[in-house]
């Protein structure tokens, strides 16, 4: 009786295999050609022992005749050459089939990432996702290539060999068939357990990749806080866990080949004993026994090859299961085909409620209205929901209840792309791709001319350091080749270039020196004229000129008004402002 765990493992493995075969089905012509070539090469290879057997029988009957032996050798040589050519062609087709299959799966995974909601990406580490797309698909490629090359040829070899054996001696062939299931049972028993270990090994490797990615990306923080020993201990712990699963996986998979070989040796001995008895009774010739022994060995060899392939396939299927888990993750809700028509930038937040964890309330009953051209600042303590509010405006997350309307159009009724095209966004967290300065600035406007890019760079005060670079706009940069302030200036330049109807500035000048910040603020003031703008700021002195200030606490707007109005109320905003002012005064003292 199978345990529930074994049944679940088998079910998961078969589901993944069907999914992989579904992708392979697009190339059924290549698959059919590979199978036909496998059958042809196997038939050619297996006909060679018959010629050798006939030659042996002729020598036994009439002695050595070189003219007759020469005819046998020529035919054997022709069969060997044709078989080698067929095998080469089959391997080329199998390579192409495996490459295209993995390419399609990897492409689907990349497209899926673009369609996944941020909630999925926030709940899965970047290292684990990279592991699935790169390393797991590579493992799948290796498994598929080995499977196509050896599994197809092995299955065809077994079938054709049985046909030839039946044509020579049905009794010996039946004896071989009776013993064959033992080899299958042994391989199946081991394969079930090795798949479980390979699945655990692959998942642990994903966690290890995520940890390595995290430590390398934040090495300065690790060193600054003396976290090296703890980081190493954390890595050792995952590494030991990976070692345990890997050793068990290798142990179980390594049992397959010797176990099936032991069974196959028993089958070979049985063929020799039965064949010798048949020779003595006159039912078989010496050449016929030679052919049967060769076929028995040839019949059993694919089982050894297949048992090795099963190990690789189990690993490949475990990796494929993780990739398909990513591919089949629930994407963002379907987009509306309608485009947002911006007629000025009226924004209405109507009784919005939202929380990341549905068991914990965050934003409740949020109401707010912004007029076109209005500059709105959002302030409040850490965790009060400021960035969450920005996420909802951009539809990085969808509201749980209520609605957000822009010029009387619900954001749920327009496409995300058209909505985001109407916003220019500068975040505290900067991101640059590996490429030229021009490519990074023109990220949102690829057709921008150099004059437009330089004008935007001058307005954003990034031209000062760009013009000192070796190749100016053509200088290739990475995320680590610039200071944090320079990266933020380039991100600001992107927005300056696009000139969107609405702006979102989330701590946009947090990494910039005071002198440059004043200049940037002047550029922003110029950019924000006539545009609906939202500014998230911790330094309250930078938002004194805002048309209205929203003071948030625990996901709600507790105060709203201009700076002077809020100071006059002597409420929560006043305490925030005075605490910062007091801190600045203490520093100056």
Render pLDDT for 47-57 as a digit per residue (tens, 0 to 9): 777 676 666 66
Per-residue pLDDT at 220 = 64
Q: For residues 248 and 197, is the Cβ–Cβ distance under 8 A? A: yes
**Mean per-residue pLDDT, 218-247:** 78
Lowest-confidence segment of 51-55, 171-175, 258-262, 430-434 by average pLDDT: 51-55
Q: Please report the DSSP string for 311-327 in residue order.
A: HHHHHHHHHHHHHHHHH
Per-residue pLDDT at 187 = 67
pTM above 0.75, yes or no: no
Residue percentage of the chain with pLDDT more than 70 = 80
Q: For residues 197 and 208, is the Cβ–Cβ distance under 8 A? A: no
Q: Domain 347-588: what homologous superfamily?
A: P-loop containing nucleotide triphosphate hydrolases (3.40.50.300)
Lowest-confidence segment of 6-10, 256-260, 480-484, 519-523 by average pLDDT: 6-10
Asked if the domains 27-327 and 347-588 are classified in one and the same CATH topology, the answer is no
Tens-place pLDDT, residues 46-95: 777 767 666 666 665 666 555 566 666 777 788 888 888 888 888 888 88
| The total number of residues written for the chain in this structure | 589
Of the pLDDT bands very low, low, confident and very high (cuts 50, 70, 90), residue 191 is low
Per-residue pLDDT at 498 = 80
Token pair of 555, please?
């996901």
Q: Distance of alpha carbon 84 from its chain centroid, rounded?
A: 38
Q: How far apart are CA 454 and CA 91, in angstroms?
A: 54
Residue percentage of the chain with pLDDT more than 90 = 0
Per-residue pLDDT at 25 = 75
SS3 of 460-474: the string is CCCHHHHCCCCCHHH
Instruction: Decide if pLDDT at 471 tops 50.
Output: yes
More confident residue, 152 or 504: 504
The H or E element that residue 206 is part of is helix 170-217
Q: Please report the DSSP string for 397-453 in residue order.
A: S--SEEEEEETTEEGGGS-HHHHHHTEEEE-SS----SEEHHHHHGGG-TT--HHHH
Of residues 113, 129, 19, the one with CA closest to residue 331: 113
Tens-place pLDDT, residues 107-155: 888 888 887 877 777 777 777 788 788 878 877 777 776 666 677 777 7
Per-residue pLDDT at 585 = 41
More confident residue, 287 or 201: 201
Q: How far apart are CA 163 and CA 218, in angstroms?
A: 64
Per-residue pLDDT at 63 = 60
Per-residue pLDDT at 287 = 67
Instruction: Write down the residue that tokens 């380039």 correspond to.
Output: 490
Give the SS3 label for residue 536.
strand
Tens-place pLDDT, residues 404-414: 888 888 888 88
Per-residue pLDDT at 304 = 62
Instruction: Decide if pLDDT at 337 tops 50.
Output: yes
The H or E element that residue 337 is part of is none
Q: For residues 404 and 347, is the Cβ–Cβ distance under 8 A? A: yes
Tens-place pLDDT, residues 292-335: 777 777 766 776 666 667 767 777 777 888 888 888 888 777 77
- CATH topology (fold) of 27-327: ABC transporter transmembrane region fold (1.20.1560)
Of the pLDDT bands very low, low, confident and very high (cuts 50, 70, 90), residue 1 is very low
Q: How far apart are CA 35 and CA 106, in angstroms?
A: 25
The H or E element that residue 237 is part of is helix 228-280
Q: For residues 257 and 308, is the Cβ–Cβ distance under 8 A? A: yes
Average pLDDT of every residue of the chain: 76
More confident residue, 104 or 226: 104
Instruction: Decide if pLDDT at 352 tops 60.
Output: yes
Q: How far apart are CA 466 and CA 539, in angstroms?
A: 28
- Cβ-Cβ contacts under 8 Å for 560 (sequence gap 6 or more): 368, 548, 549, 550, 551
**Mean per-residue pLDDT, 260-266:** 74
**Mean per-residue pLDDT, 512-522:** 70
* DSSP structure class, residue 162: H
Instruction: Write down the residue that tokens 């004194």 correspond to.
Output: 544
Instruction: Decide if pLDDT at 586 tops 50.
Output: no
Region of 477 please: left (phi>0), alpha (psi -120 to 50) or beta.
Answer: beta
Per-residue pLDDT at 587 = 40
Per-residue pLDDT at 225 = 64
For residue 241, give Cα distances in angstroms to 139, 201, 206, 228, 378: 20, 9, 12, 20, 46
Of residues 434, 442, 512, 444, the one with CA closest to residue 475: 434
Domain boundaries, given as residue ranges, for the chain: 27-327, 347-588
More confident residue, 311 or 265: 265
Instruction: Decide if pLDDT at 8 tops 60.
Output: no
For residue 285, give Cα distances in angstroms to 101, 168, 272, 525: 49, 10, 13, 101
Per-residue pLDDT at 137 = 81
Token pair of 69, please?
């032996």
Per-residue pLDDT at 275 = 74
More confident residue, 502 or 57: 502
Can you say whether the dihedral through the CA atoms of 224, 225, 228, 234 is positive or negative? negative
């Amino acid at each position: 009786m199978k345990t529930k765990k074994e049944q679940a493992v088998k079910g998961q493995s078969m589901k993944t295999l069907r999914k992989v075969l579904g992708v392979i089905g697009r190339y059924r012509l290549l698959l059919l050609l590979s199978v036909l070539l496998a059958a042809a090469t196997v038939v050619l290879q297996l006909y060679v022992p018959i010629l050798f057997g006939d030659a042996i029988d002729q020598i036994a009957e009439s002695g050595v005749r070189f003219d007759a032996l020469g005819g046998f050798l020529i035919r054997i040589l022709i069969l060997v050459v044709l078989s080698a050519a067929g095998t080469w062609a089959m391997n080329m087709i199998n390579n192409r089939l495996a490459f295209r299959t993995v390419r399609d799966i990897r492409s689907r995974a990349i497209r899926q990432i673009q369609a996944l909601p941020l909630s999925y990406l926030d709940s899965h580490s970047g290292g684990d996702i990279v592991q699935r797309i790169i390393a797991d698909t590579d493992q799948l490629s290796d498994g598929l290539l080995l499977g196509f090359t050896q599994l197809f040829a092995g299955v065809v070899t077994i079938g054709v060999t049985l046909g030839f054996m039946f044509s020579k001696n049905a009794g010996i062939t039946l004896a071989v068939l009776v013993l064959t299931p033992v080899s299958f049972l042994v391989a199946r028993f081991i394969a079930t357990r090795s798949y479980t270990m390979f699945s655990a090994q692959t998942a642990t490797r994903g966690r290890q990749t995520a940890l390595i990615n995290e430590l390398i990306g934040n090495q300065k923080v690790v060193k600054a806080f003396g976290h090296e020993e703890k980081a190493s201990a954390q890595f050792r712990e995952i590494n030991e866990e990976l070692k345990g699963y890997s050793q068990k996986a290798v142990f179980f998979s390594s049992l397959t080949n010797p176990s099936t070989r032991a069974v196959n040796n028993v089958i070979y001995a049985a063929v020799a004993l039965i064949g010798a008895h048949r020779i003595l009774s006159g039912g078989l010739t010496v050449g016929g026994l030679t052919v049967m022994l060769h076929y028995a060995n040839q019949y059993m060899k694919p089982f050894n090859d297949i048992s090795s392939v099963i190990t690789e396939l189990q690993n490949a299927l475990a990796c494929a299961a993780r990739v398909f888990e990513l591919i089949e993750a629930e994407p963002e809700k379907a987009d509306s085909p309608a485009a947002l028509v911006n007629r000025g930038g009226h924004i209405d937040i109507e009784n919005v409620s939202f929380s990341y964890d549905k068991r914990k309330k965050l934003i409740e009953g949020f109401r707010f209205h912004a007029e076109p051209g209005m500059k709105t600042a959002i302030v409040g303590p850490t965790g009060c929901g400021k960035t969450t509010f920005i996420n909802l405006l951009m539809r990085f997350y969808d509201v749980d209840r209520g609605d957000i309307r822009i010029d009387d159009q619900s954001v749920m009724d327009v496409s995300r792309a058209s909505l985001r095209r109407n916003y220019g966004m500068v975040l505290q967290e900067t991101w640059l791709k590996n490429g030229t300065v021009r490519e990074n600035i023109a990220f949102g406007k690829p057709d921008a001319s150099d004059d437009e890019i330089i004008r935007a760079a001058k307005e954003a005060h990034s031209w000062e350091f760009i013009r000192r670079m070796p190749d100016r706009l053509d200088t290739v940069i990475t995320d680590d080749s610039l200071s944090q302030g320079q990266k933020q200036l380039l991100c600001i330049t992107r927005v300056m270039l696009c000139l969107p109807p609405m702006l979102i500035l989330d701590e946009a000048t947090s990494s910039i020196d005071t002198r440059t910040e004043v200049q940037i603020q002047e550029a922003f003031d110029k950019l924000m004229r006539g545009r609906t703008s939202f500014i998230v700021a911790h330094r309250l002195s930078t938002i004194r000129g805002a048309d209205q200030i929203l003071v948030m606490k625990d996901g709600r707007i507790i105060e709203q008004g201009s700076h002077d109005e809020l100071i006059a109320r002597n409420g929560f905003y006043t305490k925030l402002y005075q605490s910062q002012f007091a801190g600045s005064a203490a520093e100056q003292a």
